[in-house]
A and B are shown apart, each in its own frame.
Chain A
């Protein structure tokens, strides 16, 4: 099974390496939003510092929608999704492979964006371990849920517009928990960041389990 997962993830990452969609399109889009938030808040440093965790995670979720859409489009374009069905690869392996590649891409964007908020918002980091751990936990959840909902929409033509409507409400718990955990790590909110990080891991585990269990049905029906 691991070989199948690595094969699918490797294929998606190779496609990303060629197309550079995450690096050349999704990351600049995310940075642009961060800059626009700065304009909207009139470059008010205290306000920006206070709201940095929330603005950061809203931006990550919006950028993730683009990455999820790209991940689905790769399979839908020339009927490769049906090709995967014909290979006999386990649907759970396809889910895990695609989720792993998506998580890697979102992590890349998240790291670039973290640098951007440190530069543009003058964000400071009090607890680096908490920040990195909560970042990984949140991105795991976003990647798993994104892959699951991407498969749900499959080859439907309306997926570009339907995907954000379906996915963003589902990711609301990630937004809340990751914002709190980041708030603690950046010293802007007095809360237990590790408790919120535990919630993020639980969310990720739930969606990984759901994806493994349901991906076969979703691939057959869409």
Chain B
């Protein structure tokens, strides 16, 4: 795909199965966020093959969008509306029931006292929780999380970890872009490095350490 006149993700290959969670790592500007936005159907691919949830993104991006839970850098919330009004609006817009909306708010442990507070008065972490609750209410088949731990306190970070684990356990697929490798590595199944428009699969750190030990042992002999 193109970012301006420049190709991005020119050699990216990524296959994610249902029930899998994948960490996308890489330097700033490597293309992690672009890959997530592409999977959400927000960007148009230029060439190659792009199938998300069984839908060809070249043919129809619109049908994919309501089935993904994308949480990016921007909160996608309305500053002048309260937390409750934002949750209600986005739930109705996505055709989500009131009970799902409430459950999502409780899942993210949003303080009940904050429900009547305009989003513009919230801290970054509280905004993040609300944005995650909006996505969680939709019970997406594919989670696309861009730095989901950013701005969250310890409690919020733990909730995000359990959200990732539970989504994968429930048969959903999860793609997490993060620089907080120590935080995310324990809760995901696979690790993919995005670099120079390419995606490179790498083994779990424990496997890597084991291989390294085996190799060293071999050399010693």
Chain A residues near B (Cβ < 8 Å)? 4, 7, 11, 14-15, 18-19, 74, 77-80, 82-89, 220
Contacts and interface: CB of A to CB of B under 8 A. Distances in A.
A18 B77 contact: no
B62 A88 contact: yes
Nearest to A16: B80
B76 A80 contact: yes
Contacts of B70: 86
Looking at chain A's contact residues, is the secondary structure mostly helix, strand, loop, or mixed?
A: helix
B46 to A, nearest CB: 15
Contacts of B93: 4, 7, 84, 87, 89
B98 interface: no
Contacts of B185: none
Nearest to A81: B76
A81 to B, nearest CB: 9
Contacts of A18: 80-81, 118
A7 B65 contact: no
B80 A88 contact: no
A166 B80 CA distance: 28
B115 interface: no
Contacts of B66: 86-88
Interface string B101-134: 0000000000000000010000000000000001
Nearest to A8: B93
B78 A80 contact: yes
21 contacts: A7-B92, A11-B81, A14-B85, A15-B78, A15-B81, A19-B80, A74-B80, A79-B73, A80-B78, A82-B42, A82-B74, A82-B76, A83-B90, A83-B134, A85-B42, A86-B40, A86-B68, A86-B70, A86-B76, A88-B62, A88-B65
Contacts of A78: 74-79
Given A11-B89, A78-B76, A87 B81 contact: no
B94 interface: yes
Contacts of B197: none
Contacts of B95: 88
Given A18-B80, A78-B74, A86-B40, 7 more contacts: A7-B89, A15-B80, A77-B79, A78-B77, A85-B65, A87-B93, A87-B94
B68 A79 contact: no
Contacts of B40: 86
A102 to B, nearest CB: 16
B76 A11 contact: no
A80 B70 CA distance: 12
Nearest to B89: A11
B72 interface: yes
B75 A79 contact: yes
Given A19-B80, A87-B93, A79 B65 contact: no
